[in-house]
Amino acid sequence: MKIPLKWLKEYLPTDMPPAELAERMTMAGTEVTVLNSHKDKWPNVYVGQIMEVNRHPNADRLVLVKVDWGQGQETVVTGAPNCKAGDKVVFARTGAVLIDGHNGKEMVLKPAVLRGVESCGMVCSERELGLSDEHEGILILPADAPVGMLASEYLGEIILDLELTPNRGDLMCVTGVARELGALIDHLPSISTPDFKATGKDIKDKINIEIKNTKLCTRYTASLIEGIKIGESPDWIKERLIACGMRPINNVVDATNYVMLEFGQPLHSFDYDQIKSKHIIVRPAAEGEVLTTLDGVERKLSPDMLLITEPDKIIALAGVMGGENTEVTEKTTSVLLESATFDKHSIRRTAKALKLQSEASARFEKGLSFELAPIALKRATQLILKIAGGQAASGLMDVMPVKKDRNSVVLSLSKVNRVLGLEGEKFDSCKIAKRLGFAWMPEYVPGMEEFGYGSVDDKMRFFPGYWRMDIESDIDMIEEVARIAGYDTIPCLPLDKAIPKIETPPLPGMKRFLRQILSGYGFQELISYSFTSREMLSRVFSGAEPECLAISNPMSSEQEVMRTSLRPALYASLAANRRFEKNGLRLYELGRVYLPKENNKQDEPEMLCALIAGSASEAWWQRNTAGFDFFDAKGIVESLVSRLGIAADFAVSDEPGLTPGYQASILVGDMPVGVLGQLSPQTADKFGITEPVYMFEINLSKLITRATVRRKFTQINRFPSVERDLALVLDRSITNRQITDIISEFDLVKNVELFDMYQGKQVAGDKKSLAYHLLFQSDTHTLKDADVDSVMNQILKRLNTETGAVLRS
């Protein structure tokens, strides 16, 4: 939003430098930049004075003008009819960049010879300077214009360029900025209530207005001016419109735009004689209706758009653009002025749908007070009478179906200190409210002291000015107190207490960590309902229906109980997605399950369930793809728990729904925390799964109790290691874990890995062979073969004694 400083000073006289004004507003929350409207325009263009005007010797319509431009005099050939000696003009020297009056493009002024006389420059019209389309004569400057001054300095206007926040629609006008700056510098602006002299008949005899949708239009006011003459606006109006970025059109349209920039209320002017019925209706559009707008475009309308109509035709899109059929033209002699309050949401939708965002719609979209409409209407009527003549009808048409009260805010003065962190010092909230133009009165509601509002002397009811639609609560009012007093005046105090240490719950942190790891492994997360069916649980556990919590009012038979496992949804999702994904599929879910307990209570542990199926890697031309197997799933489990600082062990299990011999219980120490295995063919068949699927399910609520929060770091061992292989023959009943537990008890053994298992002709029928890879290393010295041999003998002796294992020959 651009605000000319001269215009602003008409309402708020101040000698404060523009840069300081901008700084005050910026520190109060509205960023302001100081601009010069013509700072970089018109090089080699000066204020000049016509010294002589003589006839051209070879042309009847041209004259020779001698111009003094402060650093010399030049003779210029021109056809302008309004040149006379003594006038102050804009003189452009050779090399100046101007607008070509014929094609509207920029041109560089060069010396020219016109009908035998050399012309060394140009006296400029408004069009050649780019100020307007006027080019019938040259631009005549005021008599006090200083000769020799750069035109950019003289014609330039100091502009305050505001970056508005969405809630400050009141700053989209000169008076709004005057009020804001006045509050900041503690100087009330001089903004009087406008009025006009009516000499015509009563307007109620001239026009009738009807509002059919009171939600979309809360107030509609109108005035009538007859006997006007359409023409150009005075220079001071055109200059201000141009400085604000608007194009002058004619005196009536310019007046409505001027008032919009002055008070923030958009207005619209209709050619009164084109409103044949003299009956205006404000209503929503009907499906299929069309309107040709002022830009000549026929627009299709929808029922959520608000219209201004006659009984038999549409004459405007409310708040957005007028219709071509009531446009004010050079032949117009009577205008009906509209100033209304429209619903901001309706205007926003209409402007966006038709791509007609404008200065008017931008103001309506931010919300306007119903009190502003008649004020702006009176000002526009007053201004048109001044610059276009005519007679105003007596009174205003003012239709307001639903009467409204001005908004008010109750504020505890002690709450101001509490919210702003003040102690001992108080801002005078009532004085600041006065600076803002707000009214106030004492407020007391018995019994509210317990909520921190204090005594009767502590609470006030504030009435924001009608222009401040953003003040809706006591917090808004406290913000105003802080803004106007100055954020920099609020003392910086140290915290009176230490910042409390907030302990992050360990389980959510573990879940986030596991999600990151599983995503890195290529898994995709599934989020399913907590409800399932007994039949689905029975399928998962091979007919062994577990106890579960029934839902008293299930949405369907498929959601009749709370889930006791995450497996049903994962199996179903795998079966559904296998039709679309032919490569490897990795799925997991993190969530609660619901297990019944005694005394009508339930256990709700957090669980992780995951499965893998299909190819373990993508197809490659140099190798065949291998499918996932049991040990891939086992490796993922080991990797996950090791990242949590936990060592996992595995034991034989007989979990229903998993294949015997291809499943294991997951242990942390001696505590079972989950299960791992391959889906049994029977379970897979019930879900329509035709390939091997491997899954694991872990109770995170148990696992979290063993997770290592702090990691211990040790120095890297600087002594070399020794590797040995060990092949054993032992009973089939002996497990791998029994062997590794015994071997790991020896201090020099740093790692034990099973790399082979054999059952066949080379060993007895009730025996098996297990081969291990052992890593030996000392923390204090380099091992010799004799040291390793000694430990190997001790390991074999111990294994033989406890398990009957012997060295395979």
Q: Which of 60, 57, 64 is nearest to 85 (CA)?
A: 64
Res. 11: pLDDT tops 90: yes
* CA-derived radius of gyration, the chain: 44
CB atoms within 10 A of CB 266: 26
Res. 730: pLDDT tops 70: yes
Q: What does the alpha-carbon distance between residue 628 and residue 614 come to, in Å, rounded to a whole number? A: 6
CB atoms within 10 A of CB 105: 7
Q: What does the alpha-carbon distance between residue 196 and residue 383 come to, in Å, rounded to a whole number? A: 9
Strand 334-342 relative to strand 158-163, pairing: unpaired
Domain 722-807 listed as CATH 3.50.50.60:
no
State the DSSP code for 544: -
Q: What does the alpha-carbon distance between residue 609 and residue 694 come to, in Å, rounded to a whole number? A: 11
Q: Which of 625, 622, 603, 624 is nearest to 614 (CA)?
A: 625
Which value, to the nearest 10 degrees, does the dihedral of the CA atoms of residues 296, 297, 303, 305 take?
-60
Res. 714: pLDDT tops 80: no
Q: Give the pLDDT of residue 580.
A: 72
Q: What is the mean pLDDT of residues 609-621?
A: 79
Q: What does the alpha-carbon distance between residue 551 and residue 94 come to, in Å, rounded to a whole number? A: 91
Q: What is the mean pLDDT of residues 438-454?
A: 64
Q: What is the mean pLDDT of residues 102-115?
A: 86
In tens, the pLDDT along 27-68 reads: 999 998 887 666 667 888 999 999 999 999 998 889 999 999
Phi, psi of 475 (to 5 degrees): -65, -40
Phi, psi of 780 (to 5 degrees): -125, -20
CB atoms within 10 A of CB 378: 22
Res. 753: pLDDT tops 80: yes
Alpha helices in 521-566 (DSSP H): 534-540
Q: Give the pLDDT of residue 454.
A: 47
Q: Give the pLDDT of residue 501.
A: 79
In tens, the pLDDT along 297-309 reads: 999 999 999 999 9
**Largest Cα span, the chain:** 135
Strands (E), 644-792: 649-651, 658-668, 671-679, 693-699, 722-731, 749-758, 767-776
In tens, the pLDDT along 391-432 reads: 999 999 999 988 888 889 988 888 888 888 776 556 788 889
Q: What does the alpha-carbon distance between residue 442 and residue 615 come to, in Å, rounded to a whole number? A: 77
Asked if 794 and 778 touch (Cβ cutoff 8 Å), the reply is no
Give the chain's mean pLDDT. 89
Res. 108: pLDDT tops 60: yes
**Tokens, residue 597:** 């307990």
- 445 CB-near residues (< 8 Å, 6+ apart): 459
Q: Thinking of the domain 410-489, which architecture would CATH place it in?
A: 2-Layer Sandwich (3.30)
What are the angstrom distances between the C-alpha of 758 and each of 46, 650, 754, 765, 767?
105, 20, 12, 11, 9
Burial class (CB within 10 angstroms; exposed 0-12, middle 13-18, buried 19+) of 214: middle
Res. 450: pLDDT tops 60: no
Q: What does the alpha-carbon distance between residue 198 and residue 620 come to, in Å, rounded to a whole number? A: 91
In tens, the pLDDT along 341-374 reads: 999 999 999 999 999 988 999 999 999 999 999 9
What are the angstrom distances between the C-alpha of 196 and each of 11, 76, 253, 374, 796?
19, 47, 18, 12, 115
Burial class (CB within 10 angstroms; exposed 0-12, middle 13-18, buried 19+) of 241: buried
Q: What does the alpha-carbon distance between residue 522 and residue 584 come to, in Å, rounded to a whole number? A: 10
Domain 45-155 listed as CATH 2.40.50.140:
yes
The CATH superfamily of 506-706 is Bira Bifunctional Protein; Domain 2 (3.30.930.10)
pLDDT band, residue 574 (cuts 50/70/90)? very high
Q: Give the pLDDT of residue 774.
A: 94
Domain 2-37+158-184 listed as CATH 3.30.56.10:
yes
Q: Give the pLDDT of residue 494.
A: 75
Domain ranges of the chain: 2-37+158-184, 45-155, 198-399, 410-489, 506-706, 722-807
Q: Give the pLDDT of residue 725.
A: 94
pTM beyond 0.85, yes or no: no
Q: How far is CA 646 from the centre of its chain?
A: 43
Res. 133: pLDDT tops 90: no
Fold of 198-399: Phenylalanyl-tRNA Synthetase; Chain B, domain 3 (3.50.40)
Residue type, 150: L
Asked if 703 and 610 touch (Cβ cutoff 8 Å), the reply is no
Res. 682: pLDDT tops 70: yes
- 54 CB-near residues (< 8 Å, 6+ apart): 63, 64, 66
Q: Give the pLDDT of residue 607.
A: 95
Q: Give the pLDDT of residue 620.
A: 59
Res. 264: pLDDT tops 90: yes
Phi, psi of 173 (to 5 degrees): -160, 165
Res. 448: pLDDT tops 70: no
Q: What is the mean pLDDT of residues 188-197?
A: 91
Q: What is the mean pLDDT of residues 248-275?
A: 95
Res. 699: pLDDT tops 90: yes
Q: What does the alpha-carbon distance between residue 55 and residue 207 come to, in Å, rounded to a whole number? A: 56
Res. 449: pLDDT tops 60: no
Fold match between domain 506-706 and domain 722-807: no
Alpha helices in 486-553 (DSSP H): 506-520, 534-540
